């Protein structure tokens, strides 16, 4: 199958797709429990955590909701620099929280000084930050942002959405002091959509004990009770967990460092090519995504025509997101995409530009 340079759902390896065809098991069985335990042990390596990684039958947005419902009784500060950060803010408002925004224009990033300033003005129970803003291709400096939260407001929990980076970019949950780190299956993890994962440390779970109205489906304390028995409170998405078990073996056998280096190299190659073609990435240098290069369409390409041209040759890229449609275009290089695929795409794009 030809590679899709879109930021999810991404291509899934044939053997991972095939793993879903395994015969179902009762989820209250030793066989399922052994698989569930195995997947969690492997997930902990990808999350760089000694704590726990919850698995939910939902896409990543469900885990955004879990973070809000479990860790904030009232106050939330949402760092907003794009569509998915804005969504997390809306999730907070929709759940009745007093949410404030720390906002910069799309394409820009939140800098540690800005966050320090907001935290000095008011106490917030949680801060929400999107690591890799898929709508703009900007990568927030999560390590430094988490450090500033711990320094200025040590009781504030750090909630991070790494939906379009985790598994392709190193995010060291424990070392950087991230309390809750969520991702979806269908991006750098290169699985079909439908499940999501959230690393959660002890301090965050302790806080959840004091939060009322956590709901039921996303109550992390209930999930924890079952996780300790290697299971889930409700019927899990069994076929996807078979796929997860298989894909985590593939990820770990590639080697995490090799995987991160592959994503970085594909980003460098794509962004250098764009600049050579006279088109700058949207995000400032030093803060450009390693998984979804978002390029300003300064040569005025017809993006729909470009995609038609690419589709005839078995590939596709993504248009800009929302208001950035046609003003930018996005080349996602995540999951199973290889440098040789990127090379082929860029040759075709040059052919299109020359027309």
Ligand X SMILES: Cc1ncc(COP(=O)(O)O)c(C=O)c1O
Q: Could you give the 3-state DSSP secondary structure of residue 169?
A: strand
Smaller CB distance to ligand X: residue 61 or 73? 61
Q: Is 98 in the site for ligand X (CB under 6 A)?
A: no
- Select from 3, 60, 107, 168 the one that contacts ligand X (CB under 6 A): 60
Cα 122 from chain centre: 28
- Residue closer to ligand X, measured from CB, 112 or 194: 194
> What is the Cα–Cα distance from 331 to 342, expressed in whole angstroms?
9
Which residue from 328, 284, 333 is spatially nearest to 140, judged by alpha carbons? 284
Compute the least distance from the CB of residue 159 to ligand X, in Å.
12
Helix, strand or coil, per DSSP, at residue 281: strand
Query: CB of residue 162 vs ligand X: minimum separation in angstroms?
Result: 8
Q: Which of 164, 200, 201, 291 binds ligand X (CB under 6 A)?
A: 164
The answer to the question of residue 134 lying near ligand X (CB under 6 A) is yes
| Number of C-beta neighbours around residue 28 at 10 A | 10
Burial of 179 (0-12, 13-18, 19+ CB in 10 A): buried
Residues in the interface with ligand X (CB under 6 A) total 11
Q: Which residue stretch of 56-64, 92-100, 217-225, 243-251 sits at the interface with ligand X (rule: CB under 6 A)?
A: 56-64
Q: For 29, phi and psi rounded to 5 degrees? A: -140, 155
**Shortest separation between residue 180's beta carbon and ligand X, angstroms:** 14
The reply to whether 124 sits near ligand X by the rule CB under 6 A is no
Distance CA 184, CA 194 (A): 8
* CA atoms of 284 and 277, how far apart (whole Å): 17
For residue 122, give the 3-state DSSP assignment.
coil
Nearer to ligand X, 260 or 273 (CB): 260
**Binding span for ligand X by CB under 6 A among 21-29, 48-56, 136-144, 161-169:** 161-169
Which listed range, 13-21, 67-75, 157-165, 254-262, lies at the site for ligand X (CB under 6 A)?
157-165
Structure tokens at 112: 């540690």
CB 132, min distance to ligand X, A: 6
- Cα–Cα nearest to 134, from 158, 101, 168: 168
Q: How far apart are CA 82 and CA 68, in angstroms?
A: 19
CB 314 within 8 A of CB 11: no
Position among 13, 51, 57, 61 found at the interface with ligand X (CB under 6 A): 61
- The residues near 85 (Cβ < 8 Å, ≥ 6 apart) are 78, 79, 128, 129, 130, 133, 161
Exactly one of 161, 179, 219, 341 binds ligand X (CB under 6 A); that residue is 161
Site string for ligand X, 173-202 (x = CB under 6 A): -----------x------------------
For the chain, counts of helices (H) and of strands (E): 13, 13
Closest to ligand X by CB, 266 or 318? 318
Closer to ligand X by CB, 161 or 179: give it. Answer: 161
Position among 12, 118, 163, 345 found at the interface with ligand X (CB under 6 A):
163
Contact between 59 and ligand X per CB under 6 A: yes
130 belongs to the binding site for ligand X (CB under 6 A): yes
Residues engaged in binding ligand X (CB under 6 A)? 8, 59-61, 84, 130, 134, 161, 163-164, 184
């Amino acid at each position: 199958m030809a590679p899709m340079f879109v930021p999810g759902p991404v291509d899934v390896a044939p053997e991972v797709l095939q793993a879903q065809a395994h015969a179902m098991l009762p989820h209250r069985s030793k066989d399922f429990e052994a698989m569930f335990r195995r997947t969690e042990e492997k997930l902990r390596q990808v999350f760089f955590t000694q704590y726990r990684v919850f698995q939910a039958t939902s896409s990543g947005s469900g885990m955004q909701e879990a973070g809000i419902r479990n860790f904030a009784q009232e106050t939330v500060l949402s760092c907003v620099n794009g569509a998915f950060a804005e969504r997390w803010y809306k999730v907070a408002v929709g759940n009745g929280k007093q949410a404030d925004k720390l906002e910069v224009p799309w394409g820009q990033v939140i800098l540690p000084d800005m966050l320090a300033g907001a935290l000095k003005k008011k106490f917030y129970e949680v801060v929400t930050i999107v690591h890799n803003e898929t709508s703009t291709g900007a990568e927030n400096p999560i390590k430094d942002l988490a450090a500033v939260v711990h320094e200025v407001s040590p009781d504030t929990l750090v909630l991070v959405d790494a939906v379009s980076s985790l598994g392709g970019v190193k995010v060291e949950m424990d070392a950087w002091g991230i309390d809750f780190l969520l991702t979806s299956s269908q991006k750098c993890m290169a699985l079909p959509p439908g499940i999501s994962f959230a690393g959660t440390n002890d301090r965050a779970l302790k806080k959840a004990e004091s939060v009322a109205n956590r709901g039921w489906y996303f109550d992390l304390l209930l999930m924890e009770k079952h996780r300790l028995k290697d299971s889930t409170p409700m019927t899990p998405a069994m076929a996807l967990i078979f796929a997860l078990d298989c894909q985590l073996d593939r990820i770990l056998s590639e080697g995490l460092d090799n995987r991160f280096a592959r994503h970085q190299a594909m980003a460098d190659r794509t962004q250098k090519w764009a600049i050579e073609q006279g088109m700058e990435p949207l995000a400032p240098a030093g803060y450009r995504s390693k998984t979804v290069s978002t390029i300003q369409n300064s040569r005025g390409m017809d993006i729909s025509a470009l995609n038609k041209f690419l589709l005839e040759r078995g590939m596709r890229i993504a248009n800009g997101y929302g208001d950035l449609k046609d003003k930018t275009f996005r080349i996602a290089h995540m999951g199973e995409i290889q440098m040789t695929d990127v090379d082929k795409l860029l040759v075709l794009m040059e052919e299109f530009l020359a027309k």
